[in-house]
Amino acid sequence: MEILVCVKRVPDTSENEIELNGAGNDIDRDDLVYSVNEWDNYAVEEALQIVDKVGGSVTVISVGDDESEEVLRREMAMGADKGILLSDDAFENVDGRGIATILKAAVEKGNYDLIFTGAQADDGAAQVGGMLAAMLDVPFASLVNTIEVNGDKLKIGREIEGGNQEMYEIGLPCVLSIQTGINEPRYVGIRGIRKVASVEIPTLGAADLGLDAAALGASAARVQRTDYFLPEMGDGAEILEGSTEEIIDKLVELLKAKGGLK
């Protein structure tokens, strides 16, 4: 099984405090720590486990700049066999559709049975996987939390509300977006990363992929973010003040009144 996993380098929300910058038009990126998007990491682990069972190889690919290489290398340290970086000035500020277009061109240069993306990334858009599948005209499923390989078909489960799962049979090739919790990703330490430090990661630009730079750039993006801001805080909750005893007394009163105590 030849599996391609699309990964993205994102600011780590759990290790950063995301704040607006001084000018108020972007987040403060000075002290940010970046790492691989958590969903993508689960996807790579899943790919590795599938290949462990049925053979094949795992390729990781990312659309980004030079710094995205660090993320590709980390996933290769985890076990991915190959890494590909898609980088070009023309790729800056493309929208989700643009990313999918770039990835599609790269997919067509290879011969993959299965393509994974993470269910979502830092912008919470959860869009690239579905778009890529539509562009490649292959079946798609999102929020996948279980995969079973049955020859040239997969039996997959999607996470829906109530902790329930939708089970599907899906043919290959297909695109799946992977939900967290599908597995327990293995640990990658500094040593693993040092081991792959000198492995070559080919970089492909717009020309290599046969893409028209003009069709991709900022001007072609139909969806554009104009700024970041913090919404006005509405009234919100009434914050109880006073000593702990006073607060507890007030709270108990309220709970009684609202039927919270039986």
- Least distance (Å) between residue 217 CB and another protein: 14
Region 217-256 residues binding another protein, contact defined as CB under 8 A: 222-231, 233-234, 236-240, 244, 247-249, 251-252, 254-255
Using CB under 8 A, which of the segments 12-20, 57-65, 199-207, 209-217 binds another protein?
Answer: 12-20
Tell me which residues in 69-98 interact with another protein (CB under 8 A). Answer: 78-79, 96-97
Q: Is 102 helix (H, G, I), strand (E, B) or coil?
A: helix
CB 59 within 8 A of CB 82: yes
Task: Tell whether residue 66 is a contact of another protein (CB under 8 A).
Answer: no
> Which residue, 116, 115, 118, is CA-closest to 179?
118
Within 109-168, which residues bind another protein (CB under 8 A)?
A: 119, 122-131, 133-135, 138-143, 155, 157-168
Binding another protein by CB under 8 A: which of 57, 192, 205, 208?
192
Site track 24-63 with another protein (rule: CB under 8 A), x = hit: ---x---x-x-x----------------------------
Distance from C-alpha of 87 to C-alpha of 64, rounded to nearest angstrom = 5
Other CB atoms closer than 10 Å to residue 128's CB: what's the count?
24
Please identify which residue in 66, 150, 151, 184 interacts with another protein, judged by CB under 8 A: 184
- What phi and psi, each to the nearest 5 degrees, are found at residue 160? -120, -175
State in angstroms the smallest separation of the CB of 161 from another protein: 6
CA distance 157 to 141: 9
CB of 44 to another protein, least distance (A): 12
Cβ atoms of 171 and 152 within 8 Å: the answer is yes
Angle between helices 38-54 and 68-78 (to 10 degrees): 40
Nearest CA to 82 among 108, 65, 99, 57? 57
For another protein, which is the closer residue by CB, 172 or 205?
172
Min dist CB 235 to another protein, Å, is 9
Closer CB to another protein, residue 163 or residue 210? 163
Q: Which is nearer to another protein, 56 or 185 (CB)?
A: 185
> Minimal CA–CA distance to 37: which of 98, 91, 99, 92?
99
Spatial distance between the Cα atoms of 175 and 142, rounded to a whole number of angstroms: 9
Gap between the Cα atoms of 114 and 185, Å rounded: 19
Q: Which of 185, 203, 205, 208 binds another protein (CB under 8 A)?
A: 185
User: Among 7, 71, 147, 188, which residue interacts with another protein (rule: CB under 8 A)?
Assistant: 188
